A and B are shown apart, each in its own frame.
Chain A
Amino acid sequence: MNDDTQVLVVDDDTGIREGCCRVLRKAGYEVHSAGDGKSADDLFVRNKNFAAAVIDLQLPGMDGIELTRRMHAVDPDCVLLMMTAFASIETAVQAIKQGAYGYISKPFTPDELLLQLTNGLKKRELTLESRSLKKEREKSLLEIAQERSRCSTIIKCMADGVIVANTDRKIVLRNAAASRIFEMYRADHPQEASCTEPGSVPLPCPVSALPCAELIGLIESVFKTEEEPVIISKEVVVGEGTYMVNVSPVTEGDGTKCGVVAVLRDITARKKLETAKSMFVSMVSHEIQSPLAVAEGYLNIILNDTVAADEAQQREMINRSYLRVRALREMVSELMNLSAIDTGNFVIKRSFININEVVRCAVECMHEKAKDGKIDLFFESTNGRGSENGPVVRVFADKNAMFIVLKNIIENAVKYTPTGGSVRIAVEENGLYARIRVRDSGYGIKPDEKCKIFDEFYRSKGKLTAGIPGTGLGLCLVKKLLELQEGSVSVESVYGKGSEFTVCVPIER
């Protein structure tokens, strides 16, 4: 049992030294010995694993007291047992002062030596154990403290607001996000600042001080619910924001309710998005139903002879129906393009294309329309007007998308230019970009409309332009298509004088 316990025996008297060694070995200790203080000290410092040392007080060179002092300094837990032939209170006290555990008077029996040593070792063992327990306790205390601070840090840093109320209906915890929510509310409602405001009031403060009656109600209803733990979730408006509030009881191990915790998640952005989405759906349904209703109405008049109409009038009604249905189909196709872009399904295949060629195609498409309106539509490339083999301006773009872009812009220019006006298209290289400028002498755009014309379904509604058909999606599509190709579109306009749209696309380099 004492196998791994190392004991050092120090005595200049070989007989006693060997005797002690023998007794201790027999008892199972691993014994080392030294004949003088100096070599004992060296051995002790080198080994460091001695659990105990039996030291003669009278040693040549370094005496036992000095050796004891030094050994105690190296290892204060080592059991130092003094042997002395001249036992006196004085020397004993002196030795104990230097850190010795006890002393034993020569001559002594092996049992006396073993008893003293065992007691000393037991004491040492207890000391070591209590120290390790203390260490462990300190360690676990530290861990708890760390855990606590980690928890509170996590709660503090959470993006969601957290409020905890105890059964006295007092708020005992709130995190920074919760404070922010209610502080923001206070900032929005300065007239209510006088009331107790939990964002600034020190805790604990009453639940009723929360500036949100709905939230107070939710907390109260969780307190009152008798059933098994419930979680009440509700959208609550606080000031400008909308929050998804989850309120649940805080229960102890045995199920007793000791409080309520409310978590507030900011869903303002989501709500805004939902509103925008439903607005969009309303717009779409309105834009789709209008032309259908026109066609249905006109056809009904003709089919049921509701209104007396001659053949020419009937023809006109059919023509109007046709135009509206065709415009509707175009709008649906634009809508699908927009939706494909938004969902990332619009495939853009960019390659090096001659933008002049695409412009020419788009211009040709609008030729007929321009002729009808007696509009002078012409395309000038950088080296001269309308030259068939104009310079090649290579851009890095999708040919199909660029055609849609240019056709839309040129069509708009033609549509919004009164009879006799002009639409000029010019392509020029400008650093890293090719610029396609479409300038018309049309109705122009009011300054406050300039930022809106690229919005979905926005259509300029003026006296002069009221009869012009359109979907309100063209420019929106143009903008999105250009964004996909690192391009851009901008507009300058003088109301009543005309507009100039500029499209930029990256050039080949």
Chain B
Amino acid sequence: MQRKRECIVLIDDDRDFLEMNRRLLEEKGYSVSCFDDSDEAMRAMHCIKPDLVVTDLMMAGLDSGFKLSQKIKQDPMLGDVPVIIVTAASSLQGFSFNPHSQGEFESLNADAYFDKPVSTHIFLKRVRELIDKKGEAGRER
């Protein structure tokens, strides 16, 4: 039986990152939708119902990625979609982007963080893990 292609939404205001990550993920067989605007992405996600979201952190605002992530987590339809935040700024406003504790991690509304450019191998592994975890949780329900 052929498995349905998992869908990933990419959000970044830098077209090169969209392109680069799209290529990486499509190569692995994912279906990828790209957006350069978080509001537009939010609207589209209600139709796409993605299996995973990868968003840039600093877009229109310094913390657009966090806000988007929060919106997704609070959305009744998208609440279980894992979110990966990628950023070119490794530290910002006294905020470490490599959260040390699980508590710190959870308070940031995202499931994983990656510095740009993502280290391909680890990034793809994490994407797989998060999608699988979501799938299991879905089946259990």
Query: Which residues of A pack against B, CB within 8 Å?
Result: 278-279, 282, 285-286, 289-290, 293-294, 296-298, 300-301, 304, 306-309, 320, 324, 461, 463, 466-467
Which residue on B lies nearest to A285, using beta carbons? B89
Taking a contact as CB atoms under 8 Å apart, the answer to whether A301 and B89 are in contact is no
Which residue on B lies nearest to A275, using beta carbons? B93
A387 to chain B, nearest CB (A): 41
| Chain B 22-53 interface residues, beta-carbon cutoff 8 Å to A | 23-24, 27, 36-37
Would you call the interface of chain A mostly helix, strand, loop, or mixed? helix
A302 to chain B, nearest CB (A): 11
Chain B residues whose C-beta falls within 8 Å of the C-beta of A290 in the assembled complex: 14, 17, 88, 116
If A282-B93, A286-B88, A289-B116 touch, whether A294 touches B16 (CB-CB below 8 Å) is: yes
B31 to chain A, nearest CB (A): 16
For the complex, what is the distance from the CA of A298 to the CA of B116, rounded to whole Å?
Answer: 12
Contact of A301 among B23, B36, B92, B116 (CB under 8 A): B23
| Chain B 78-111 interface residues, beta-carbon cutoff 8 Å to A | 87-90, 92-94
Taking a contact as CB atoms under 8 Å apart, the answer to whether A304 and B116 are in contact is no
B43 to chain A, nearest CB (A): 14
* Given A286-B89, A290-B17, A309-B23, 20 further pairs, Cβ under 8 A: A279-B62, A282-B62, A282-B93, A285-B89, A286-B87, A289-B88, A293-B17, A293-B117, A294-B14, A294-B116, A294-B117, A297-B116, A298-B16, A300-B117, A301-B120, A307-B24, A320-B16, A324-B16, A461-B13, A463-B37
Contact of A308 among B20, B27, B60, B115 (CB under 8 A): B27
Would you call the interface of chain B mostly helix, strand, loop, or mixed? loop
Chain B residues whose C-beta falls within 8 Å of the C-beta of A304 in the assembled complex: 120
For the complex, what is the distance from the CA of A285 to the CA of B93, rounded to whole Å?
Answer: 12
Taking a contact as CB atoms under 8 Å apart, the answer to whether A294 and B20 are in contact is yes
Chain A residues whose C-beta falls within 8 Å of the C-beta of B92 in the assembled complex: 282, 285-286
Contact of B36 among A278, A286, A297, A466 (CB under 8 A): A466
For the complex, what is the distance from the CA of A463 to the CA of B60, rounded to whole Å?
Answer: 12
B58 CB–A CB distance under 8 Å? yes
Which residue on B lies nearest to A462, using beta carbons? B37
Taking a contact as CB atoms under 8 Å apart, the answer to whether A293 and B88 are in contact is yes
B71 CB–A CB distance under 8 Å? no
Contact of A282 among B24, B89, B118 (CB under 8 A): B89
Contact of B116 among A293, A309, A466 (CB under 8 A): A293
Chain B residues whose C-beta falls within 8 Å of the C-beta of A300 in the assembled complex: 117, 120
B128 CB–A CB distance under 8 Å? no
Taking a contact as CB atoms under 8 Å apart, the answer to whether A298 and B37 are in contact is no
- Interface size band for B: 20 to 34
If A282-B93, A289-B89, A301-B24 touch, whether A306 touches B120 (CB-CB below 8 Å) is: yes
- Compute the total of residue contacts between A and B using a CB distance below 8 Å: 71
B15 CB–A CB distance under 8 Å? yes
Chain A residues whose C-beta falls within 8 Å of the C-beta of B19 in the assembled complex: 320
User: Could you name 8 residue pairs across A and B whose Cβ atoms are closer than 8 Å?
Assistant: A282-B93, A285-B89, A294-B16, A294-B117, A298-B16, A301-B23, A306-B120, A467-B15
Which residue on A lies nearest to B60, using beta carbons? A461
Taking a contact as CB atoms under 8 Å apart, the answer to whether B20 and A298 are in contact is yes
B86 to chain A, nearest CB (A): 9
For the complex, what is the distance from the CA of A463 to the CA of B88, rounded to whole Å?
Answer: 22
Taking a contact as CB atoms under 8 Å apart, the answer to whether A306 and B17 are in contact is no
Taking a contact as CB atoms under 8 Å apart, the answer to whether A301 and B13 are in contact is no
Chain A residues whose C-beta falls within 8 Å of the C-beta of B27 in the assembled complex: 306-308
For the complex, what is the distance from the CA of A349 to the CA of B48, rounded to whole Å?
Answer: 59
For the complex, what is the distance from the CA of A309 to the CA of B87, rounded to whole Å?
Answer: 25
Chain B residues whose C-beta falls within 8 Å of the C-beta of A307 in the assembled complex: 23-24, 27
For the complex, what is the distance from the CA of A466 to the CA of B35, rounded to whole Å?
Answer: 11
Chain A residues whose C-beta falls within 8 Å of the C-beta of B93 in the assembled complex: 278-279, 282
If A282-B62, A306-B120 touch, whether A297 touches B20 (CB-CB below 8 Å) is: yes
Chain A residues whose C-beta falls within 8 Å of the C-beta of B36 in the assembled complex: 466
Chain B residues whose C-beta falls within 8 Å of the C-beta of A297 in the assembled complex: 16-17, 20, 116-118
Chain B residues whose C-beta falls within 8 Å of the C-beta of A301 in the assembled complex: 20, 23-24, 120
Chain B residues whose C-beta falls within 8 Å of the C-beta of A296 in the assembled complex: 117
Contact of A306 among B24, B59, B60, B116 (CB under 8 A): B24
Which residue on B lies nearest to A294, using beta carbons? B16
Contact of B15 among A285, A461, A463, A466 (CB under 8 A): A466
Which residue on A lies nearest to B28, using beta carbons? A307
Which residue on A lies nearest to B118, using beta carbons? A297
For the complex, what is the distance from the CA of A300 to the CA of B16, rounded to whole Å?
Answer: 14
Taking a contact as CB atoms under 8 Å apart, the answer to whether B16 and A466 are in contact is no
For the complex, what is the distance from the CA of A308 to the CA of B29, rounded to whole Å?
Answer: 12
For the complex, what is the distance from the CA of A301 to the CA of B19, rounded to whole Å?
Answer: 12
Which residue on A lies nearest to B56, using beta carbons? A290
B124 to chain A, nearest CB (A): 9
B49 to chain A, nearest CB (A): 24
Give the most central of A279, A286, A463: most B CB within 10 Å. Answer: A286
A408 to chain B, nearest CB (A): 22
Chain A residues whose C-beta falls within 8 Å of the C-beta of B58 in the assembled complex: 286
Chain A residues whose C-beta falls within 8 Å of the C-beta of B120 in the assembled complex: 300-301, 304, 306
A177 to chain B, nearest CB (A): 30
Which residue on B lies nearest to A298, using beta carbons? B20
B37 to chain A, nearest CB (A): 7
Which residue on A lies nearest to B19, using beta carbons? A320
Which residue on A lies nearest to B87, using beta carbons? A286
Which residue on A lies nearest to B62, using beta carbons? A282
For the complex, what is the distance from the CA of A286 to the CA of B118, rounded to whole Å?
Answer: 15
Chain A residues whose C-beta falls within 8 Å of the C-beta of B16 in the assembled complex: 294, 297-298, 320, 324
